[in-house]
C-alpha cells in the first residue's frame, strides 16, 4: 500500500470514529437500528471541492512534471548515445558520458522524490480539510434519516450491502449543497480522489 492510500485509510478511520460514537449513543434502546455504509474516499473525491482540489494540484505541479519529463528525455538520449555509439567513443568519452548519465539519473530521482513528497503532503492537507467538513455532513444526514450506525466500507469487511443503505452519493450531494464551490472550478477535473501527478517514469539503468 503506497503512502497516499495509507493516509486515506487512516484518515477514513479517524473520520469514522466520531460518527460511530454518536450513532451508537443515539441508537441505544432502539428496537430496530438502521445502518448505513459510505465509501469515504469516493465521497471526498466526488465532491465539487474534491474535484477542485485535484484540478488545483494538477495545475500547481504541472511545471514540475514537465521538468521531470525533460530530464527523462535527456537521460534517454544519453543512454542511446552510449549504447549506439559505444564503439566510436574513446574510453575517456565513454567515461565522461557515463559520469554525466549517473549524475542526471541521481538528480532525476531526487527531484522525482521531492515532487512526490510535496504532492502527497498537499493532497493530504486537501483531503483532511474536506474530510473534517464531511464528518459534520454525515452526522447531520444520519440524524435526519434516523440512522443509528454509519459504517465506512473501507474500515470493516462489508460482505454485502444493499444499494438502499449506501449513502455515499447522498452525502456527496449534501456536502456540495452545504459547502458550494465555483462550478467552473469544480468541473475542471474528473471525479476522482486527488492522486499524484508528479511521479514521472523512472529512468532505465
Number of domains in the chain: 1
Q: Name the residue range of residue 146's domain.
A: 3-63+103-156+165-186
* CATH number of residue 26's parent domain: 3.30.910
Q: Are 152 and 15 in contact (CB under 8 A)?
A: yes
* The predicted structure's pLDDT at residue 32: 63
Q: Which three cell numbers stand for residue 151?
A: 459504517
Query: Cα 111 to the chain's mean position, in Å?
Result: 20
Assigned domain for 171 exists: yes
Pairing of strands 149-152, 35-38: parallel
Per-residue pLDDT of 45-90, as tens digits, reads 999 999 999 999 999 999 999 999 999 999 999 999 888 887 888 8
Assigned domain for 20 exists: yes
Assigned domain for 86 exists: no
Assigned domain for 91 exists: no
Assigned domain for 76 exists: no
pLDDT surpasses 60 at 204: no
Assigned domain for 129 exists: yes
Query: Which pTM does this prediction carry?
Result: 0.68
Per-residue pLDDT of 87-142, as tens digits, reads 888 888 889 999 999 999 999 999 999 999 999 999 999 999 999 999 999 999 99
* The predicted structure's pLDDT at residue 200: 44
Q: Are 164 and 35 in contact (CB under 8 A)?
A: no
What share of the chain in percent tops pLDDT 70?
73
pLDDT surpasses 60 at 203: no
* The predicted structure's pLDDT at residue 31: 47
- Place 157 in a pLDDT band, splitting at 50, 70 and 90: confident
* The predicted structure's pLDDT at residue 122: 96
Q: Please compute the mean of the pLDDT values over residues 2-21 and round it to a whole number.
A: 48
CA distance 200 to 112: 7
State the helix-helix crossing angle for 48-84 and 168-178, rounded to 10 degrees: 110
Assigned domain for 193 exists: no
Assigned domain for 96 exists: no
CA distance 11 to 133: 13
* The predicted structure's pLDDT at residue 183: 60
DSSP E strand boundaries for 39-162: 149-152
Amino acid at each position: 500500500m503506497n503512502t497516499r492510500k495509507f493516509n486515506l485509510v487512516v484518515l477514513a478511520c479517524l473520520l469514522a470514529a466520531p460518527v460511530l460514537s454518536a450513532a451508537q449513543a443515539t441508537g441505544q434502546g432502539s428496537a430496530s437500528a438502521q445502518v448505513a455504509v459510505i465509501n469515504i474516499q469516493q465521497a471526498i473525491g466526488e465532491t465539487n471541492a474534491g474535484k477542485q482540489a485535484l484540478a488545483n494540484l494538477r495545475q500547481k505541479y504541472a511545471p514540475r512534471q514537465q521538468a521531470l519529463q525533460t530530464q527523462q528525455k535527456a537521460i534517454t538520449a544519453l543512454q542511446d548515445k552510449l549504447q549506439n555509439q559505444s564503439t566510436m567513443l574513446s574510453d575517456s568519452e565513454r567515461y565522461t558520458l557515463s559520469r554525466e548519465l549517473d549524475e542526471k539519473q541521481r538528480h532525476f530521482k531526487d527531484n522525482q522524490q521531492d515532487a512526490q513528497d510535496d504532492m502527497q503532503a498537499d493532497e493530504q492537507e486537501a483531503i483532511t480539510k474536506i474530510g473534517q467538513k464531511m464528518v459534520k455532513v454525515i452526522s447531520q444526514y444520519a440524524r435526519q434519516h434516523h440512522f443509528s450506525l454509519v459504517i465506512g466500507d473501507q474500515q470493516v469487511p462489508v460482505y454485502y450491502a444493499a444499494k438502499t443503505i449506501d449513502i455515499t452519493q447522498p452525502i456527496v450531494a449534501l456536502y456540495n449543497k452545504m459547502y458550494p464551490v465555483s462550478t467552473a472550478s469544480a468541473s475542471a477535473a474528473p471525479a476522482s480522489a486527488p492522486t499524484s501527478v508528479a511521479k514521472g517514469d523512472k529512468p532505465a539503468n
